[in-house]
């Protein structure tokens, strides 16, 4: 079977690529190993459509741009299709003078990343209490436009619309390898299948790295960081009106601190931390996973990971976040730095954990997503937060990159609309 575009993975990114490709008349196939779209990171995340105030434009310009450009598209798509959207807002709190300086950076970055003046406010300690009576801090950034969604629901709808335009979706099909001439070899419910495309996009979350290394990618390794969430009792959940984040403890690493979040289900949860786990699907188990790391964590050569494991600050983060997963008291100590009125007894049990798949090179973490392109195959790596928010823009960038290489012929009415985004797209190619 031969298609214009073959997409491996029906998470929010693969679904977005399928949506735009089929909207533009391409013959599309999606290959998904599970029985439905979006059951991994797309479902197991915080569910926030992020505004880009916290993204330093010097380091994370492409992600900031992706979040900015994707926001109006997502809002319209959700509205038009009757999906969940709750513009609750996010309060990002600094609890010490060091953090207060970062709030100043956020104000600058918000403007530089294109947020409108009426989208945000800076609050002092009294302002924080008047907005959120159970939150304490020195200074805070209030984003009024951050919104709570269900990314799995969005992904499902994108696939549904794409199928209505002729896209074939192969569920229960695990991709084993992707060749540079556009052939995808899969194992579909026990039988071998080959599906070819003029272009292949690999958006397979935690498995993209292995598929890319089989295809020749060298010089990188991958580590997995699980985010655990804890459910807050309904009564205590009512103490907080919106998502409450704090300025991250470890700004050199790509993780936010555990925060209070409002779910599309109506519940309130605390999380996620960044718990180093050995594999891409280690959603359960705590002590057993900590011990398993001793036999090797993640994928790729140890020589690439060695520098990071010798970095004292990184090891502090690893141990601090293992502690949070092991002991509820540790999580609560962290949260009580900014939230009052909740105790360990109010964290009822674990919610649904999700796993980030971070690519590192010999210098450490890569801060942005990047593409590895070999012939007709494009692999999307390091596609982490705010990846779900930025998927529509990244999908457009991917299709534009394939068109610019002469692999796809259609003209795209997509989100890559001016020279600046073209330039960023090239940068995103890494
Ligand atoms: C804890 C956590 C919190 C987050 N919070 C947010 C947030 O609030 N806002 C935000 O914007 N982003 C957030 N993110 C990031 C966001 O969730 C991810 O960037 C995004 O979901 C990645 O989407 P994806 O489609 O690339 O991956 P996935 O959703 O993991 O999809 C990959 C798909 O590929 C399939 N697949 C894998 N291997 C194969 C194979 N060999 N063959 C066929 N199919 C395969 C999988 O089954 C899966 O369906 C968070 C992430 C985590 C982990």
CB of 280 sitting under 6 A from ligand 1: no
325-360 pLDDT, tens per residue?
A: 888 888 888 888 899 999 888 988 899 999 999 999
306-317 pLDDT, tens per residue?
A: 889 899 999 988
60-102 pLDDT, tens per residue?
A: 999 999 999 999 999 999 999 999 999 999 999 999 999 999 9
Pocket test for ligand 1, best of 6, 7, 10, 11 (most atoms within 8 A of CB): 11
Instruction: Report the b/e string of 100-126 with b at 16+ CB within 10 A.
Output: bebbeebbebbebbbbeeebbbebeee
CB of 16 sitting under 6 A from ligand 1: no
CB of 356 sitting under 6 A from ligand 1: yes
pLDDT bin (cut points 50, 70, 90) of residue 401 is confident
Residue 178 scores a pLDDT above 70: yes
CA distance 307 to 309: 6
Q: Is residue 205 part of a domain?
A: yes
Structurally, how many domains does the chain consist of?
1
Residue 424 scores a pLDDT above 60: yes
pLDDT bin (cut points 50, 70, 90) of residue 430 is very low
The three-point CA angle 282-288-293 to 5° equals 70
CB of 26 sitting under 6 A from ligand 1: no
* φ/ψ (deg, to 5) at 134: -110, 20
Considering only 53-57, 269-273, 325-329, which range has the smallest mean pLDDT? 325-329
Q: What is the DSSP string of 216-263?
A: T--S-EEEEEEE--EEEPHHHHTT-SSEEEE--S-TTSS-PPPEEEE-
Distance 12 CA to ligand 1 centre (A): 7
> Using CA positions, which residue lies closest to atom 3 of ligand 1?
45
Q: Is residue 301 part of a domain?
A: no
Q: What is the pTM for the complete model shown?
A: 0.96
Q: Is residue 142 part of a domain?
A: no
Ligand 1 atom at shortest distance from the alpha carbon of 9: 34
Q: Is residue 355 part of a domain?
A: no
Residue 413 scores a pLDDT above 60: no
Q: Is residue 318 part of a domain?
A: no
CB of 384 sitting under 6 A from ligand 1: yes
Residue 16 scores a pLDDT above 60: yes
Q: Is residue 232 part of a domain?
A: no
Q: What is the CATH number of the domain that holds 191?
A: 3.50.50.60
Distance 197 CA to ligand 1 centre (A): 23
Distance 9 CA to ligand 1 centre (A): 9
Q: Are 128 and 280 in contact (CB under 8 A)?
A: no
The mean pLDDT value for 290-306 works out to 88
CB of 203 sitting under 6 A from ligand 1: yes
CB of 33 sitting under 6 A from ligand 1: yes
Sorted by sequence, the CB contacts under 8 Å of residue 228 that are 6+ apart come out as 271, 272, 273, 275, 324, 325, 350, 351, 353
In angstroms, the Cα distances linking 259 to 124, 217, 239, 249 are 19, 36, 14, 12
> Using CA positions, which residue lies closest to atom 41 of ligand 1?
175
Sorted by sequence, the CB contacts under 8 Å of residue 282 that are 6+ apart come out as 224, 226, 289, 292, 355
Instruction: Note the pLDDT of residue 421.
Output: 61
Pocket test for ligand 1, best of 31, 42, 242, 397 (most atoms within 8 A of CB): 42
Instruction: Report the b/e string of 307-329 with b at 16+ CB within 10 A.
Output: ebeeeeebeebbebbbbbbeebe
Considering only 49-53, 204-208, 287-291, which range has the smallest mean pLDDT? 287-291
Helical spans, DSSP H, in 125-248: 125-131, 151-164, 208-214, 234-237
> Using CA positions, which residue lies closest to atom 50 of ligand 1?
45
Q: Is residue 336 part of a domain?
A: no
CB of 29 sitting under 6 A from ligand 1: no
Q: Are 279 and 209 in contact (CB under 8 A)?
A: no
Residue 423 scores a pLDDT above 90: no
CB of 90 sitting under 6 A from ligand 1: no
Distance 394 CA to ligand 1 centre (A): 14
User: What domain range includes position 396?
Assistant: 1-82+150-219+367-430
Q: Is residue 102 part of a domain?
A: no
């Amino acid at each position: 079977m031969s298609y214009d575009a073959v997409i491996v993975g029906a998470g929010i990114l693969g679904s977005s690529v399928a949506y735009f490709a089929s909207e533009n008349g391409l013959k599309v196939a999606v290959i998904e190993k599970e029985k439905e779209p979006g059951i991994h990171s797309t479902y197991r995340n915080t569910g926030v459509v992020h505004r880009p105030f916290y993204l330093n434009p010097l380091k994370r310009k492409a992600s900031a741009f992706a979040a900015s450009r994707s926001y109006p598209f997502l809002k319209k798509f959700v509205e038009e299709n009757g999906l969940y959207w709750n513009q609750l807002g996010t309060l990002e709190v600094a609890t010490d003078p060091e953090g207060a300086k970062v709030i100043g950076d956020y104000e600058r970055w918000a403007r530089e990343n294109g947020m409108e003046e009426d989208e945000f406010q800076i609050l002092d300690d009294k302002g924080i209490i008047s907005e959120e009576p159970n939150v304490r801090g020195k200074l805070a950034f209030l984003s009024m436009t951050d919104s709570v969604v269900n990314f799995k629901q969005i992904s499902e709808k994108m696939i549904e619309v794409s199928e209505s335009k002729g896209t074939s979706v192969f569920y229960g099909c695990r991709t084993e390898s992707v060749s540079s001439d556009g052939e995808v070899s899969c194992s579909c419910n026990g039988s071998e299948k080959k599906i070819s495309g003029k272009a292949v996009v690999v958006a397979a979350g935690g498995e993209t790295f292995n598929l890319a290394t089989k295809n020749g990618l060298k010089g990188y390794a991958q580590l997995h960081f699980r985010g655990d969430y804890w459910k807050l009792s309904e009564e205590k959940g009512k103490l907080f009106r919106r998502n409450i984040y704090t300025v991250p403890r470890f700004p050199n690493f790509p993780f936010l601190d555990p925060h209070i979040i409002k779910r599309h289900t109506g519940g309130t949860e605390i999380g996620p931390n960044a718990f180093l786990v050995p594999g891409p699907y280690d959603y359960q188990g705590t002590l057993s996973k900590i011990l398993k790391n001793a036999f090797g964590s993640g994928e790729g050569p140890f020589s690439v990971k060695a520098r990071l494991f010798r970095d004292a600050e990184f090891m502090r983060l690893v141990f601090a976040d293992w502690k949070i997963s092991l002991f509820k008291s540790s999580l609560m100590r962290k949260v009580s730095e900014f939230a009052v009125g909740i105790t360990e007894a109010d964290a009822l049990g674990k919610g649904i954990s999700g796993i980030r798949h971070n690519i590192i090179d010999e210098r450490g973490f890569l801060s942005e997503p990047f593409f590895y392109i070999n012939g007709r195959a494009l692999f999307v790596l390091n596609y982490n937060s705010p990846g779900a928010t930025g998927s529509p823009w990244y999908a457009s960038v991917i299709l534009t990159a394939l068109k610019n290489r002469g692999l796809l012929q259609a003209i795209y009415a997509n989100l890559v609309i001016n020279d600046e985004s073209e330039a960023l797209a090239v940068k995103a190619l890494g």
